[in-house]
């Protein structure tokens, strides 16, 4: 199995990037069973694209043969491309090796309702860049306990993303 992870600089010791299409690099992790066998890093040649970075990056990941892709957020277009190609999408934050290990151990899973963040393109709908998109709501309302749990989980993910963004910003200011 091949897992692609959106990263800043690449490698197992890097952190998962909060954004998929405009991350700096992708770390490809080759796995047999639950063992990491090999890793390679590829720069994201689409990070600076004027528009369509997510779609182009998604196609790049698919062409590399990834079965699973991990990032903090995925835009709706990239998510759609992955869905059509049967590539599992996982929204996660943290150290690459830790996140991959958690995925392999079933502690985090792919979800058809992955959080959708806004891309940086010109925008067509979803608020024209004035906010983040949200996962699709289920057809039937959730029981109150599930709703509270889902909101608490989402809040924790957003807090982790904010921490990652702050860390990245600090790293960029140091350079």
Select from 49, 111, 48, 116 the least CA-distant residue to 78: 116
Instruction: Report whether 31 contacts 104 (CB < 8 A).
Output: yes
CATH 3.40.50.970 fits 2-136, yes or no: no
Instruction: Report whether 4 contacts 27 (CB < 8 A).
Output: yes
For the chain, the structural domain boundaries read 2-136
| Rounded Cα–Cα distance for residues 75 and 94 (Å) | 19
User: What pLDDT digit, counting tens, does each position of 94-148 carry?
Assistant: 999 999 999 999 998 886 644 444 444 444 444 434 344 444 444 444 566 666 7
Confidence of residue 155 (pLDDT cuts 50, 70, 90): confident
| Rounded Cα–Cα distance for residues 125 and 27 (Å) | 31
Residue 146 confidence (pLDDT): 65
Which segments within 9-139 are labelled E, that is strand? Answer: 25-32, 35-43, 68-71, 88-91
Q: What are phi and psi of 86, to 5 degrees?
A: 60, 35
């Amino acid at each position: 199995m091949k897992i692609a992870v959106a990263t800043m600089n690449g490698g197992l010791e890097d952190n998962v990037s909060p954004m998929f299409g405009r991350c700096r690099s992708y770390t490809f992790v080759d796995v047999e069973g639950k063992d990491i066998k090999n890793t390679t890093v590829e720069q994201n040649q689409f990070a600076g694209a004027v528009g369509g970075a997510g779609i182009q990056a998604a196609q790049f990941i698919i062409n590399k043969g990834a079965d699973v892709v991990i990032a903090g957020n995925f835009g709706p277009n990239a998510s759609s491309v992955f869905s059509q190609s049967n590539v599992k999408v996982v929204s996660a934050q943290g150290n690459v090796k830790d996140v991959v290990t958690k995925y392999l151990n079933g502690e985090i899973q792919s979800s058809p309702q992955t959080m959708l963040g806004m891309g940086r393109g010109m925008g067509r709908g979803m608020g024209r860049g004035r906010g983040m998109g949200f996962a699709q709501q289920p057809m039937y309302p959730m029981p109150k306990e599930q709703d509270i749990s889902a909101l608490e989980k989402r809040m924790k993910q957003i807090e982790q993303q904010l921490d990652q963004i702050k860390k990245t910003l600090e790293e960029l200011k140091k350079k």
